[in-house]
Amino acid sequence: MPLAYEVSGAGTAAVNGDYSAEGTYLGGTYYQIAGGGFLMWRSGAPGSPGNWSISVNLGDPTAFMYYRTANQVNPDDGPWARLTQGTNPPPTVTEIKRFAARP
């Protein structure tokens, strides 16, 4: 399971940044932006296609950005779309891969 994602290029600049895994919500991992303020989370029952959102609160129906996917784990498999509170362009979400330095 990915531990962190970078959100970039969103017209709502405040949502851009690095998001780290913080806990679980509805059976899936949710992520929080460094410094707090925004969460990236998946709605929907476990085992069903879900919607990834970026918002201030978990379960917030006024999410800034919205994404529809059948992939329950990763929010980086395709394009995001703007919701009513966001501004274009929608963000790009990319997994942050960090490798430990070898001695």
- Extents of the domains making up the chain: 4-95
d(CA 16, CA 14): 6
Mean pLDDT of 46-50: 62
Query: What pLDDT score was predicted for residue 59?
Result: 84
Residue 15 CA to residue 89 CA, distance in Å, equals 12
Is the Cβ–Cβ distance between 9 and 19 less than 8 Å?
A: no
H and E: helices and strands count for the chain = 0, 8
pLDDT tens for each residue of 3-16: 899 999 999 999 99
Q: Is residue 71 scored above 90 in pLDDT?
A: no
Q: Categorize the per-residue pLDDT at 73 as very low, low, confident or very high, splitting at 50, 70 and 90.
A: low
pLDDT at 92 over 70: yes
Number of residues that make up the chain: 103
pLDDT surpasses 60 at 72: no
Type of residue numbered 8: S
66: pLDDT strictly greater than 80: no
pLDDT at 103: 54
